[in-house]
Structures are given as C-alpha cells and as structure tokens.
A = this chain, B = another copy of it.
Amino acid sequence: MRPTVHDIAAEAGVSLATVDRVLNARPGVRRKTVDKVQAAVERLGYVRDVSAANLAKKRTYPLVFILPEGPNSFMRGLEAEIRAAMQRSPVERTAIRIETVPPFDPAAIVGVLDSLDPAEVNGVALVATDTPDVSAAVDRLVDRGVHVATLVSDLPGSQRIHFCGIDNLAAGRTAGGLIGRFCNGRAGKVLVVAGSMKLSDHMDRASGFAAVLRSEFPDLEIVGPVETNDDADTVRQAVTAALDAETEIIAIYSLGAGTRGLIEALPDREQRKLAVVAHEVTEHSRQALAEGLFDAVINQDCGHEVRSAIRVLKARADGLMPISAQERIRIDIFLKDNLP
C-alpha cells in the first residue's frame, strides 16, 4: 500500500497540515520540523497522489497556444488538433486558449507573450520564429513564472522547458538519404525550396540535408535554398524559374510549406523525371504522392505534438517529469504505399 499524508504525519509525529505545508513548500514551519517531515517522506517513499490533490484543489490548467494564422494547411491542421484537445478539457482539467498571429511576424509573437498574465496562465506553447526578440520575450515570461514549450519549430537559445516537434536536423538528413538513394548514382543538381530561414526547423532541415549530400552523395549538387515565405504562389514561380534555368536539376527537396505551388510547377513525369521529397501530409501532398508526383513525404504528427505539449506543460505545473520516450515525436516517412 502506498503511503499517504497520514502515514507521513504519524511517522514524523506532526499533524496533517504541517505535512501539507512542507510538501508544498509553504512558509510557517520551523526548520527542524521541515527536516523531520522530509526524513519521513524519504523513509516511507511517499509520492503524492496527483489526482487526489487535483480533486481537493479543483485544479484546472489554464494553457495558451500561439500559432500563425493564414492558409498554411499544416498550421490549420495543428489548430484543429488544439480544438480537439479543447473538447477534452473538462476531462483533462485544462482551459485552453488559442492566440493567432500573422505568420513570420516576431513582433506580433512578442506582443502576445508580453500581454500574458502569469496569474491567469499556467503554460504556453508556441510556434516561434527563431529571432532574438522572441527568445527574449520567452525568457521574460519564464522569469515571470510561466512554463513555455516550443511547438514545431524550436527556440534553442531560450529558457523553454521543452520542444514539441521532430528532430529537424535528422529530418533533413532523412530527406538527403532518400533523395540520394532515389537518384541512385545519377549525377546532377537538387533544388532546395525553403519557407524562411528565420524558422529554426527550416534551418535545421536545410543543414541536415546538405550534410548528407556532401558526405554520402557528392555527385549531387544543391541549388538554393530559395526562400518562399511558405507562400504557394511564390513557390510555384521559384520552382518554375529554377527548372527553366537549370536543366541539370534531377531532384527537388521542399522543406517548407506552399506545397500546392510546388505541385503546380512540377512538369509531366514523362517529360522530365524528378525525385521529389516534401514535408507534411496535407490534402495536396497526399494526392501528389498517390499520383506519383512526389516520391516521399516527411511528416510530423501534429496531434501527437499538441497532446505532448499539454502533457508536458501539465506535468511541469505539477513539478513532475513526463515519460520522455512518450514525448519524442517521430519522423514519419510516407510513400504512396503507406499513406494512412
């Protein structure tokens, strides 16, 4: 039988209230009493029953998600998952609010971050641009006692407690390995299309990709990365222009969004055979895979990311450590053959 506060109280020779004060690090207890209680906790191996505590406190976890607005399918999918989590709020004791900001706008993110009231918010998960001002705003919020987790794209220099997303360096390496093998010995150029180098996920993917090509497939030369701000029309124009200009392009790695534009720019399979790898399963990329326009799509499960963010933020609010393996977001690789 697991020990309870009663057992601790008896063991330490004090009352329940005193045990509670010590356990919750509240003031008004003599140093010696604190030691006695802590010794009893150690001795009996006490672990607090979080659900009983939450019941007594009628606790809810007020959480805020910050993500970019706009037509980006992936971000809208992410938002849908957050809304699904809001549906479960009564059961999970969460109170989730969504704040959307213009994409690629660090100042807007900073504005939201600074407007948050630590008294009303327990944790924040955000999709951030990796810029110094956002990093600083995150640190300010953490200093004010709010736990912050990054979502999808990390903020490596900041005080965020956790990154809920894939290892984007490994994702880029994977793309490199796939494209290298799909080209299978042919020499030529590979066009790399990115959204914005202000995003650390795009940065990481680009460098992982370049590293693998350099070390394993030296016959493939990178063109780009071209920046498109994840805008479909820009992607279409950029890809069309590049394919016209460079006839030696035999593969494309699209590491950002705007996938619809990429599809529109792709020439007939018969005319010109290109190995194509893109990111995120959306309506568009799914169809492109099925039609054989794309060879592979690298995906991150945004449902998992959202649930993970909630678990991590809640655990942290309770001062617990989450199961780390459970929070590792996998790099999914989809071919037309294993599309879910």
Interface residues of A (CB under 8 A from B): 2, 47, 49-52, 54-55, 88, 90-91, 167, 170-171, 173-174, 176-178, 181-182, 184, 208, 212, 295, 301, 303-304, 307, 323, 325-326, 328, 330-333, 335-338, 340
Task: Report the bound CA distance from A323 to B51 in whole Å.
Answer: 20
A208 partner residues in chain B, CB cutoff 8 A: 337
Complex partner residue of A326 from B52, B54, B295, B303, CB under 8 angstroms: B303
Nearest chain B CB to A91's CB is how many angstroms away? Answer: 7
A47 to B184, CA, bound (A): 57
Kindly state the separation between the CA atoms of A182 and B179 in the bound complex, as whole angstroms.
10
Q: A3 to nearest B CB, angstroms?
A: 10
In the complex, the answer to whether B47 meets A51 with C-beta atoms within 8 Å is: no
| In contact, A335 and B178 (Cβ under 8 angstroms) | yes
Contact B338 A331 (CB under 8 A): yes
Chain B neighbourhood of A2, CB < 8 A: 90
Verify B326–A304 contact, CB threshold 8 A: yes
Q: Which residues of B contact A301 (CB under 8 A)?
A: 330
If A54-B51, A90-B47, A181-B182 touch, does A173 touch B337 (CB 8 Å cutoff)?
Answer: yes
Known: A47-B91, A55-B52. A173 touches B338 (CB 8 A): yes
Name which residue of chain B comes closest to A166, CB basis.
B338
Cα distance A67–B333 in the bound complex, in angstroms: 29
On whether the beta carbons of A307 and B326 are closer than 8 Å, the reply is yes
Q: Which residue of B lies closest to A320 (CB)?
A: B91
CB pair A174 B212 closer than 8 Å: no
